[in-house]
């Protein structure tokens, strides 16, 4: 019985650390599978996401057609003041690490696109999330990896449970 308790403890600890690894450093593909383009409602997309310090944004788009500029504040964001950009990227596959809590503002640098709605406001929460919210519209790869590690946990737990029964 003591062996069972210790075994279960080890399994649960391993499962917890695996789960944490699966959820840490989550990648958020902006706009989901359709990516960074004019026809997406980025407000709704961002609403459905939980951004944490350590997560990464990924902007996928046709290089040359669009770009990613980071704007300094709310007013620049509201007015699509692209000229005030503090950072600019244009590779077509741009990763942006969310290094600290707060709000960050991104828009497309192509003329007219920001005012057509090609902008997104990212609210980054402090610390690590205590709950494990679901991210139906997040990137396939990140949801795949967290599901994959969850599956691994259950398989290991099932293995130990069967062994000790
Ligand atoms: Cu654009």
Length of the chain: 165
- Terminal alpha carbon distance of the chain: 11
Q: How far is the CA of 10 from the centre of ligand 1 (A)?
A: 50
Rounded CA-CA distance 131/11 in Å is 20
- In Å, the largest CA–CA distance within the chain is 69
Rounded CA-CA distance 63/55 in Å is 23
Q: How far is the CA of 37 from the centre of ligand 1 (A)?
A: 6
pLDDT of residue 126: 83
Q: How far is the CA of 62 from the centre of ligand 1 (A)?
A: 9
User: Would you tell me the crossing angle of helices 140-164 and 2-23 to the nearest 10 degrees?
Assistant: 180
Q: How far is the CA of 54 from the centre of ligand 1 (A)?
A: 26
Please report the DSSP string for 57-93 in residue order: EEEE--BTTB-EEEESSHHHHHTT-GGG-SEEE-SSE
- Name the percent of the chain lying above pLDDT 90: 61
Q: Is the pLDDT of residue 149 over 70?
A: no
Q: Cβ neighbours of residue 66 under 8 Å, at least 6 residues apart?
A: 36, 37, 108, 109, 110, 113, 118
Q: How far is the CA of 132 from the centre of ligand 1 (A)?
A: 33
Q: How far is the CA of 61 from the centre of ligand 1 (A)?
A: 9
pLDDT in tens, 21-64: 555 679 999 999 999 999 999 999 999 999 999 999 999 999 99
Average pLDDT, the chain: 80
Q: Residue written as tokens 């690894």?
A: 21
How many DSSP H helices and E strands does the chain contain? Answer: 4, 8
Q: How far is the CA of 52 from the centre of ligand 1 (A)?
A: 26
Q: How far is the CA of 87 from the centre of ligand 1 (A)?
A: 15
Q: How far is the CA of 151 from the centre of ligand 1 (A)?
A: 38
pLDDT in tens, 92-113: 999 999 999 999 999 999 999 9
Q: How far is the CA of 9 from the centre of ligand 1 (A)?
A: 51
Q: How far is the CA of 28 from the centre of ligand 1 (A)?
A: 18
Q: Is the pLDDT of residue 4 over 90?
A: no
Q: How far is the CA of 122 from the centre of ligand 1 (A)?
A: 18
């Amino acid at each position: 019985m003591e062996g069972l308790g210790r075994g279960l403890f080890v399994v649960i600890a391993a499962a917890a650390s695996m789960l944490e690894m699966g959820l840490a450093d989550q990648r958020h593909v902006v706009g989901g599978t359709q990516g960074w383009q004019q026809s997406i409602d980025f407000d709704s997309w961002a609403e459905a996401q939980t951004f944490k310090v350590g997560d990464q944004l990924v902007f996928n788009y046709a290089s040359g057609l669009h770009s990613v500029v980071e704007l300094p504040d709310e007013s620049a964001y509201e007015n699509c003041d692209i000229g005030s950009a503090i950072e600019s990227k244009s590779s077509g596959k741009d990763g942006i690490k969310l290094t600290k809590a707060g709000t960050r503002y991104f828009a497309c640098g192509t003329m007219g696109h920001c005012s057509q709605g090609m902008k997104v406001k990212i609210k980054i929460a402090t610390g690590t999330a205590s709950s494990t919210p679901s991210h139906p519209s997040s990137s396939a790869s990140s949801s795949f990896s967290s599901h994959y590690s969850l599956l691994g946990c259950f398989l290991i737990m099932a293995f130990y449970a069967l062994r000790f029964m």
